[in-house]
A and B are shown apart, each in its own frame.
Chain A
Amino acid sequence: MGLNRRAFIQFSVGGTLGLLVTPVIWKTLDDVSIWTQNWGWIPTLKKGVEERVPAVSKLCPSGCALRVETVGGEPYSTTGDEDNPLSKGGLCPICADAVPLLYSPTRVQGPMVRTGEGQYQPVSWDEAKKLLAEKLGAAGSSVAVISGDDTGSGNEVFSALLAELGSDDYYMMPSPQMAATRAWNGLMGGEGQIGYDIAGSDFVLFAGADALSSWGPTVSNMNAFAESHPAGEKAKSTYVYAGPARNHTSSVCDSWVPVHPEGMSAFLLGLAYNLITEGRYLESGDFAALRSLLASKYSPAQVEKLTGVSKKSLAELAGKLLRASAPVVVADYGCSPAVAAAGIIVNLLLGRMNTWGGMVALPEVEPVLGSALDRPTRFAKDLPADVASGAFAPKVCLIYDANPVYGLPQYGEKIAEKAEFTVAFSTFKDETAAVADLVLPAAHPFERYDDLVNPFGVANTTYVASSPVVKPSLDVMGAPQFALDLAAEMGLDLGFENFEEVLEAKAEAAEAAVGTVGSYSVGLGLPALSDADKTSGQLALYAYSQLHIGSASMATTPHNPTTIRDTELQGKQMFVRINSETAKANGLKAGSKVRLSANGVECQALVHVDEGVMPGVVAAPLGFGHTAWDEFSMGKGGNVYKLLTVSAGSGGSAWTGSAVTIAKM
């Protein structure tokens, strides 16, 4: 049968009508539209018993006491712990995001040995232990520990291990606690751990200490502030922030005293000058020398020049401190022992030592591992100075809970070069883990035993321990437990086999260390104060820390990028804040792309013109510029830690030099 014209037309029309009528084509189109839009995964919510388990998160610098919310035993969120005095229900923006980090792809999955540039091979814990025992055996006493754990008993385990190996090279990462310890226990010869009873005070001066945002026991400080400023009622106390720029702390303080970045010690000594003029004195052999030092270098006129604080404002502030019934000064800037010492002197002049609402010296919680260093001694060694002088050259370097390659970059990068074999105990794939020879995955805080022993700044002996909330999902373990196992492998007796037992013993030791240190007869650390009157005369850097961006050891957590403003970070470019006067003087305007340089290192940024910054100051955020971690932080902004100038003072290294140049790109 041939296909004639009529048959062709009939077939075409019939076919078209048929296609229109059949559902197949429409159904197929519908299916295509559905299937191309389907998710690659279907989220399902867990069901089960919901609980709130008390725990400790040490992801933020001071550590948060909190409760982990679980469903069917699986954690999903954190809330503050109302029953814990450190939290009183509050928590910080890092620890609010602690649970998602449990399953972050950026966690170290298991022990790894470096086999070449950026290449690692997985090994078992046993192999790692044997390898490290062998390296330590060969190294003899040429071993060092770098610790970033400001609060835990894990320090004692590592310190005891180090002592058994015949070394005392225990280095702590720079912190406000280090500055205060070097000032009080070192320069001034005081006893005990410095703390501040902010909650009991009626006039709080934060001199440089960003205490309601990133300094000290932040959440506990914020609680104290909250209770002193009840909503809808008259404030029960006055909070003053002194520092180079408006920050989170200053935004809620009752007033802000702008102080030049290099002038914090001078500002405090200026206050001391005023207090002495008003008749205050100290029973110290150094008092006469202090008076003459103040008269020669820190008269109000000189202080005005160094700090930008007028004679009148300084005298007014001193007057307010004198009139307050329970004033306290919380001083910290650039981890400088000189600033800490000057702050302590002002507190002493005000008669605020070991008083309600004042500065306290808490008794030391005794080490429970016999050969461990005590707290002040742990803070005595100076990592930047030793790396610079070449004194730091261990055969094996153990890095515990620290990220020196990121947080102390000028020196941290050299650690892996100077030490023959570097071991990083890291929870996440951070910058230090990326260069270490052996990477040992530390358990997440919710997977391990850990504790907080007197987080720096607290006014009463505080001890919080926590046990694991969940079983580790990865091949990880608590770093102190590994150190105990390692000691056993090497036949060293640290007195404990189990970290849990260390915590139990520590809890007992903490119970025995309540109250305050009774006697204090101190020197005044004058050599450290006498050279605090130097200024660079150039543009000064004010580097500030905000927990939602991260810390010296933590990068930005997954849910925090949305909390970072587009005036802080735009795409991969971070902003630095300068005053309109500074912008004009340097030919810059809002949005200008600039290059910041100091110490021969550069950082790129955009300009955010902000009148909340002192003229002549560049305010730059710490916490950006990661080269490891994940997409939430890697490659975003520049690492401002690189720009910090470490200057060696008589109390130890501090980040007090702040000269920086800013150039339009």
Chain B
Amino acid sequence: MQVKEFKIKWGMVIDIDKCSGCGACMVSCQVENNIAPMTQEDPHNHLQMMTTKRDDPSNKLRTLTWLNVYELNNGKAFPEHDVAYLPRPCMQCGHPACVPVCPVVATDKNEEGGIVSQIYPRCIGCRYCMAACPYHARYFNWWDPLWPDGMDKTLSPNASVRPRGVVEKCNFCHTRYMKAKDRAREEGIDPMELPEGYYVPACVEACPTGAIVFGDLNNPEHKVAQLAKSPHSFRLLEKLGLDPQVYYMSKREWVREQGDNHAAGDHNSAVKQASQGHE
């Protein structure tokens, strides 16, 4: 598949040296995108006693974390031990592995801005895309979304609620992009030339350390375009050639090294240690 070129390429540069791993971005993401809290009891299931309980949030194979903050470490013993936190949204790859495998074109990279779409009503839940995505950025709804009794009054108007059986993922808060374009038209700004900060996803807005910089990678006036070219910046599994629109940066060499490793056996034990329990 050819890499599609867009005039606007929304992207992030995440400064790992500034992420303290507090989790505010993950919470904001869930609230913005109507990701239900993980309740184990289903008040609508009258056969609760006879049926399996819904999953516990510590079962990380079943959580829906469009944005997931991983903990990395340099694998060294005390006192040289070092820790870093790596927030991982969808990489919105230029050459996405998930798109060509979808049998029903429920996911596509076809819109100005370069955001990889996910069309929930079209998804048949085959999960080929999940198998294809090397970043584990896609999540399957194993359960119907449920809010504790009454809490659904706080549903966000920015994302439809997805049923059990479909795959979902980060879309850079796409509704915010649409709203920003509408607002731009109202204010007489060209929607193709949105000023920096005019459209930002919820995680970027919430981050108290400003670790996530967001903007148009194709617009040299946007900070992301400059930061992506920094000698300290890198992309995850760059060797795979998926051309992600999410960049990372770190002054720590061990962090950059871990970001680029991909094949089993070609990286040190620290990577294995770091990835333990964070899949």
Contact = CB atoms under 8 A, between A and B. Distances in A.
Are A and B part of the same complex?
yes
Interface of A: 37, 39-41, 43-47, 50, 69, 71, 74-80, 89-93, 96-97, 99-100, 102-105, 212-213, 218-219, 222-223, 225-226, 229, 231-232, 246, 248-252, 256, 258, 473, 546-548, 557-567, 569-571, 579-581, 610-615, 630-632
Contact of A96 (B24, B154, B163): B24
B81 A43 contact: no
Given A45-B157, A46-B155, A611-B76, A77 B208 contact: no
A612 B18 contact: no
B26 A630 contact: no
Contacts, number: 237
B277 A630 contact: no
A237 to B, nearest CB: 13
B13 interface: yes
A581 B65 contact: no
B18 A105 contact: no
Given A41-B152, A559-B37, A565 B71 contact: yes
Given A96-B28, A100-B37, 13 more contacts: A77-B202, A79-B206, A105-B150, A212-B20, A213-B20, A222-B209, A231-B210, A248-B21, A251-B83, A252-B20, A561-B57, A564-B58, A566-B60
B277 A567 contact: yes
Main secondary structure of the interface of A (DSSP, over half): loop
A615 B79 CA distance: 9
Nearest 4 A-B pairs (CB), nearest first?
Answer: A40-B44, A90-B208, A563-B23, A561-B57
B209 A225 contact: yes
A93 B157 contact: no
Interface centre among B18, B44, B145 (most CB of A within 10 A): B18
B81 A612 contact: yes
A547 B22 contact: yes
Nearest to A214: B22
A91 B156 contact: no
B205 interface: yes
A611 B27 contact: no
Contacts of A76: 31, 154-157
Contacts of A249: 20
B78 A231 contact: no
A34 to B, nearest CB: 12
Contacts of A610: 81
Interface string B1-45: 000000000000101011111111011101110110111111111
Nearest to B228: A232
Given A559-B30, A570-B58, A580-B77, A222 B213 contact: no
B217 to A, nearest CB: 14
B17 A252 contact: yes
B249 A232 contact: yes
Contacts of A50: 157
Interface string B146-161: 0111111111110011
Contact of B155 (A43, A252, A614): A43
A561 B38 contact: yes
Nearest to B70: A565
A655 to B, nearest CB: 23
B63 interface: yes
A167 to B, nearest CB: 39
Contact of A248 (B22, B27, B39): B22
A430 B81 CA distance: 38
B57 A562 contact: yes
A225 B65 CA distance: 27
